[in-house]
Chain A
Amino acid sequence: MTALPLRIEASGLTKRFGGIAVVDAVSFQAHAGEIVGLIGPNGAGKTTLFNLLSRVLRSDAGTLLINGIDATRRAPHELATLGLVRTFQLARELDRLTVLENVLLAARDNRGERLFDALCRPAATRKSEHAMIQQAREALSIVSLAPHEAKPAAALSGGQKKLLELARCLMSGADIILLDEIAAGVAPHLVEEIVDLVARLNREHGKTFVVIEHNVGVISRLCSRVVVMAQGSVIAEGSFETISRDANVIASYLGQAA
């Protein structure tokens, strides 16, 4: 595992809200091809760490390398170009766009998204859009949403919205995907589907995943390595078996025994 290149290399990442360090000097790595689990009790700082890794929030301290490139001060939209995309804890589908449009939005280097090309080069715009539509349909069929492509995204079920977010991540071509509670609030049979899908994307497409999840079954099945956070810090790290026996981890979930 150590020979594989580092996809994410964060060190000393810190975020304070007021006086409280919600993420406190956290160092975090993900290697190419890994599925890393990120667990911890509510308020541990997991989603805030995701927000720092995706630059949705600016860190107060620390450095961040994505695919070996310094991303510490990049704007959020530059992270997708560096190869990192994410989903959200509450699915953020774009309700009034169709399912296909939601996925098309994630296309990289679509000429028609540039003002000049959209206005002055309609033929080139159409051509690139057609190629993107093919790709978007492939992404939709991977997540089994192909039959729903013409629906407005608002019409999807909660679980389908999570799949839609995953399809957008695939469409972006990014090799690092952060999944924030992708199984939360999803029907059990769909959870199975999502877990299988993530495993397959990892195995066949070489995608690197970081997964925040409260469903222990999902974590144990997917993750080769689990990072445990509590109160803004990493308190344990290792295989699922190791961390599930760790006294600190048990204490953080169940409270300190008297």
Chain B
Amino acid sequence: MESYLIAILTIAGIYAVLALALNLQFGMTGLINFGVVGFYGLGAYTSALVTELLGLPFAAGLAAAIAVGAVAGAAASGLSLRLSGDFLAIVTLGFAETVRLVLNNEDWLTRGPRGFIISTRPVPDTLGRDGASLFYLGLVLVLALVAFLVLERLRRSPYGRTLRAIREDDLVPATLGKNVFAYRLQAFVIGSVLMAAAGSIYAHYVQTITPDNFTTPIAILIWMSLVVGGAGNNVGAVVGALAVTAIYEGSRFLMPFIPWLNAEQMSALRFIIIGIALIAVIRFRPEGLLPEPVNLPPSRTAQSSTSQQQYQVTGGTAS
């Protein structure tokens, strides 16, 4: 049970990184990325290939995943960002599908659907099985913490304000002198890099990856995490990822209570439960569990002491 909990937390941590990355792209900048799994899978396979085929250590695999994630993010967004939002959504969806097909069919490189086995692990051999699991959980939490701190600093900065302005109405920041294309490109690339890094850590954690690990249902889980948690709110993205993982994994334990369902129906039921939870949130709390924080102006008298007070608006203020 304990090792199961650690495993769930590790996966939840990886999903939290993906949700944080998506929050930068969609929650803050308004960029629709339906291809989360494309960048995630690319990072996983890049890391796997670099460590297994070239015999390099995990750190090199992670670095390579980050580099490939950055290039892929720049390519996918650079080609479509000048077009309006919907085109980026289609391009990213196509990108993820292309990645999946290449992984499935380039058998000589990826071993296709049979799966790619990864023996390189960043864990000291002396730790043993339980120690290794804890070590991985720690590694994932470090990545999640770094991602959270970086993105939270960006969100509170004038940089984050410009991103939110672009999300609201890109013509306004453009006519006020902001290079909207450069901002969007940067936000998209940072997000893609985080997704690829998450993929790298995931690959060395599970040690066998197949293209099936990186299909659209995972991207949907990440989108749900963000929408349920609260788009625009980094804490919300993490809470959403935890909640969705908890519902998804926790629904396993329903199995003994509904014995007349077979395993396949059970796995469908788990998605149904998540779907219902999503609909309920959108119906009753469309801004998510934790809405985007409002950056209140510092008070006039004590401007130097308080940098940014924050409070949360409940209910929609947008007209």
Contacts and interface: CB of A to CB of B under 8 A. Distances in A.
B177 A108 contact: yes
Chain A contact patch, size range: 35 or more
Given A76-B175, A77-B180, A95-B317, A101 B298 contact: no
A137 interface: yes
Nearest to A79: B175
B2 interface: no
Nearest to B162: A113
B158 interface: yes
Interface in B302-319: 303-304, 307, 313, 317-319
Given A110-B158, A118-B158, A133-B303, A98 B294 contact: yes
Interface string A128-155: 0110110001000000000001101011
Contact of A112 (B158, B165, B171, B292): B158
Given A110-B158, A122-B153, A129-B158, A95 B319 contact: yes
Contacts of A125: 157-158
A172 B177 CA distance: 8
Interface string A74-112: 011111110001101000101111101100111110111
Interface string B149-172: 010011001111110110011011
B307 A118 contact: no
B250 interface: no
B258 interface: no
Contact of B179 (A75, A95, A107): A75
Nearest to B303: A130
Contacts of A154: 317-319
A137 B176 CA distance: 18
Nearest to B176: A106
Interface string A235-248: 00000000000000
Contacts of B175: 54, 56, 76-77, 79-80, 85-86
Contacts of A133: 297-298, 303
Contact of A105 (B153, B161, B171): B161
A105 B297 contact: no
Nearest to B178: A77
Given A75-B179, A130-B303, A155 B161 contact: no
A189 interface: no
B129 interface: no
B168 A95 contact: yes
A201 B194 CA distance: 47
Contacts of A56: 171, 174-175
A8 B90 CA distance: 41
Given A112-B158, A114-B159, A133-B297, A155 B176 contact: no
A119 interface: yes
B179 A92 contact: no
Contacts of A77: 173-180
Contacts of B159: 112-115, 117-118
Nearest to A126: B307
Contact of A94 (B168, B174, B177, B294): B168
A112 B158 CA distance: 5
Given A113-B162, A149-B297, A152-B317, A94 B169 contact: yes
* 10 closest Cβ pairs, A-B complex: A80-B177, A112-B158, A118-B159, A118-B157, A94-B168, A100-B297, A106-B176, A76-B174, A95-B318, A113-B158
Interface of B: 150, 153-154, 157-162, 164-165, 168-169, 171-180, 186, 292, 294-298, 300, 303-304, 307, 313, 317-319
Given A107-B158, A119-B157, 20 more contacts: A56-B171, A75-B174, A77-B175, A77-B176, A77-B180, A85-B176, A86-B175, A95-B317, A95-B318, A97-B165, A100-B297, A101-B161, A101-B295, A106-B177, A112-B158, A113-B157, A118-B158, A152-B313, A154-B319, A172-B176
